[in-house]
Structure 1
Amino acid sequence: MHPGPVGEDFHARRRAWEEANLSPLAARSWPARRVHEEDDCGLRSPLQRDRDRIVHSKAFRRLKHKTQVFVAPEGDHYRTRLTHTLEVTQISRTVARALALNEDLTEAIGLGHDLGHPPFGHIGEDVLDRCLQDRFGRAFRHFEHSLRVVDVLERDGRGLNLTADVRDGIRCHSGRSPTPATLEGRIVRLVDRIAYINHDIDDAVRAGVLDVRRLPQDAIAVLGETGSVRIDRLVHDLVEHSSRAGDVVQGDEAGEAMAALRAFMFDEVYLGEVARREHERIDLVLRTLFHHYVGLPDGPPDGGGAPDADLAQRVTDYLAGMTDRYCIRTFEQLAVPASLPL
């Protein structure tokens, strides 16, 4: 539909607002740099369109049934990959607004950053990576696969055709990837860690895996006794130091305290006794499915989502796209004998 007076005036008003209100260091919403050029929308900036495409994607909807830390937890209050994504996005927007950076870019990156996570969280990522290394000499990194999801797998192989800054932020949100090109991307990269460390502590305590009294007390003395207090202090520290530095940085004291909490969580929760027991089960499930689909004459069903890719990529696409419960159900269909009629 041809835009009316409001739509015709939108771009000019929003561009003027960005020039008047955003920091000179902020990324701008226009012009849209996409692989395939498109006409702009009458009522949304290019970055708002990217946000909407991500939210309406199949991969985004599947996040509600993907593990954050605890596999198939008993209870309704544990985080999933979807709630983690929303928490990261909300905190990141707060930081971007305080620093007069582009909230729309920050939001789009936050919502899309974990679309490529396989089932069973980081344990699933590790198992899939080892399967690919052993069989094909390839690596699997969820942040790289997140970019493949938005570039190739969504919309029946056409991809979402996101803007360059959003794609960069998704690809570079992990500490194992290059530094994001924009400050907005760097916000999501750091806030991702702030969010998961603190909400994983909360879930681990709720699950009875962690006694809050065992948390490193030096770090707790700096950051606070509760997750909400710690996040608040880390966010305030982040915006104050970033504003002075003209970059996205933490203060030394807060950064060291957060690093201590992260190291503790890896030792006690992510790689602890409960996680090791789950790792063995998840390894059995994913490895069984991996070798099953590699061994099929035509590979995984429906071409694995990208029929023009080679076998290794098609199996990767298919397994990484599974939710936890679909993965378990598929494994049961393969490995558990069907009941015989009486």
Structure 2
Amino acid sequence: MPVQPRPAPFAADPAKSRGRRWSEPESQTRSPFERDRDRIIHSTAFRRLKGKTQVFVAHEGDHFRTRLTHSLEVAQIARSVSRRLGLNEDLAEACALAHDLGHPPFGHTGEHALDDCMKPWGGFDHNAQTLRVLTRLERRYPGFDGLNLTWETLEGTVKHNGPMLAKGVTLESLAPVWQNLNAEFDMGLTTFASAEAQVAAVADDIAYNNHDIDDALSGGIFTDAEMCDSVPLVREVYDEAARDYPNLDLGRMRGEVIRRLIGIWVNDLVVESQRRIAIYNPQSVDEVRALPQALVGFSDEMIAKAATLREFLYAKMYRHWRMNRSRSQARRIVRELFDVFLAEPDTLPPDWLHLHSKDSTKAARLICDYIAGMTDDFAIDEHRRLFNLDRTL
């Protein structure tokens, strides 16, 4: 049985948190990072993830991943990896659970459609929208908008993909929500995030790369044989599982293969991260932030294998004709909803209409916020209500 490592010297320490934007009394029973995690779980945006597309539109089947189940799988992997590296599991879990809160309905298709609609007013990005949810759109507390999370959890959201101001990017080129937060609560945009936040980011890769295989096989998008012919890593795991369980039925075989694949990814991540830790020997979380590369990551060999898998998934799954049809419908729904609300704001529900502004940029962003918060089914129903003249008896 693996022995849990002692806390690493560079693990985030909740007792040394940089605090919250609005001061609050500390909890008597939970650390600041535990409290962040709990606020995320209890948020409205988190509950809505149950009805938002991961790959398959949410109503296409009960067994396919949604943004909610995906986020839970990411959190599980992040906790597991954090424990093996001696990191703060609560912070890693909070970052993992929050990472997709800004996703609109219909997954990345909905995101691209909203971005097209919002081009004259600053565009749309689900990571920036996540920050809007966490700092503005959740309205549950009497003293502030948002969830008033710790600096460290917000940092993990802001630097989801590494330093924000790397490679010549300027602060002025970032979305206003990032600029505004940084002005009030300096996020250190030129550095990496904590090791815990880095773990959450790569746990996302592990989760979706493997559960997309599972969902595609269950949905009949491609066959086991097609995947084995194109992805050597998967073929090796199938062969190993077949040797160990020669008479296993197909359903259990797929489950065993996915389980082993996740284990391979996790083990590579831990071993490679330990190699980097040995090289850099960081003694504090700030030293992790200042490193020239991420402390947590995959080996070059695993990155190459992942690229082969992603090429296969793009060709056989994400561009499958059934996926193309769903994307086509989703694009029309999002664009037509945006256009009608922009042209006829009095069709917005009362609790959104009272926030409407005559300023075109603010009005467009309000409509964007409304649509981005929708579940797949709500967006479909809202489109039907606005574009189909139903006869009722």
Task: Look up the match of 1:229.
Answer: 260
Any unmatched runs of 5+ in structure 2?
Answer: 166-190, 240-256, 278-294
Q: Which residue identity does 1:189 align to in structure 2?
A: A
1:316 pairs, out of 351, 368, 373, with 368
1:185 pairs, out of 178, 197, 200, with 197
Task: Look up the match of 1:281.
Answer: 329
Q: Classify 1:153/1:95 alpha carbon distance in 2 versus 1 (closer, same or farther; 3 Å).
A: same
Q: Which has the higher contact order (CA 8 A, sep 6+)?
A: 2
1:254 and 2:238 correspond: no
Task: Look up the match of 2:212.
Answer: 200
Task: Look up the match of 1:218.
Answer: 232
**CA–CA separation in structure 2 for the residues paired with 1:61 and 1:305:** 24
Pairs within 5 Å for 1:323-334: 323-334=375-386
SS of the equivalent of 1:214 reads helix
Equivalences, count:
320
**CA–CA separation in structure 2 for the residues paired with 1:181 and 1:175:** 7
Pairs within 5 Å for 1:50-129: 50-129=36-115
Q: Which residue identity does 1:230 align to in structure 2?
A: L
Q: TM-score, structure 2 length as denominator?
A: 0.76
Task: Look up the match of 2:159.
Answer: 172
Aligned-pair distance for 1:164? 1.1
Aligned-pair distance for 1:296? 2.1
Q: TM-score, structure 1 length as denominator?
A: 0.87
Q: Which residue identity does 1:214 align to in structure 2?
A: E
Q: Classify 1:87/1:340 alpha carbon distance in 2 versus 1 (closer, same or farther; 3 Å).
A: closer
SS of the equivalent of 1:30 reads helix
Q: Classify 1:290/1:281 alpha carbon distance in 2 versus 1 (closer, same or farther; 3 Å).
A: same
Whether contact under 8 Å (2:12, 2:88) holds in the other structure is yes
Task: Look up the match of 1:21.
Answer: 6
Whether contact under 8 Å (2:127, 2:158) holds in the other structure is yes
**CA–CA separation in structure 2 for the residues paired with 1:271 and 1:234:** 25
SS of the equivalent of 1:181 reads coil
Aligned-pair distance for 1:307? 5.5
Task: Look up the match of 1:12.
Answer: none
Identity across the alignment (%): 42
1:39 pairs, out of 14, 18, 25, with 25
Aligned-pair distance for 1:174? 4.5
Greater displacement, 102-111 / 67-76: 67-76
Whether contact under 8 Å (2:163, 2:193) holds in the other structure is no
**CA–CA separation in structure 1 for the residues paired with 2:321 and 2:161:** 25
Q: Which residue identity does 1:313 align to in structure 2?
A: R
Task: Please tell me the root mean square deviation across aligned C-alpha atoms, in Å.
Answer: 2.3
Task: Look up the match of 2:124.
Answer: 140
**CA–CA separation in structure 2 for the residues paired with 1:297 and 1:262:** 41
Deviation track 1:274-330 (CA, whole Å, cap 9, x = no partner) reads: 222112111111111000111124573323796578112101110000011111110
2:148 pairs, out of 158, 161, 183, with 161
Q: Which residue identity does 2:362 align to in structure 1?
A: D
**CA–CA separation in structure 2 for the residues paired with 1:174 and 1:299:** 37
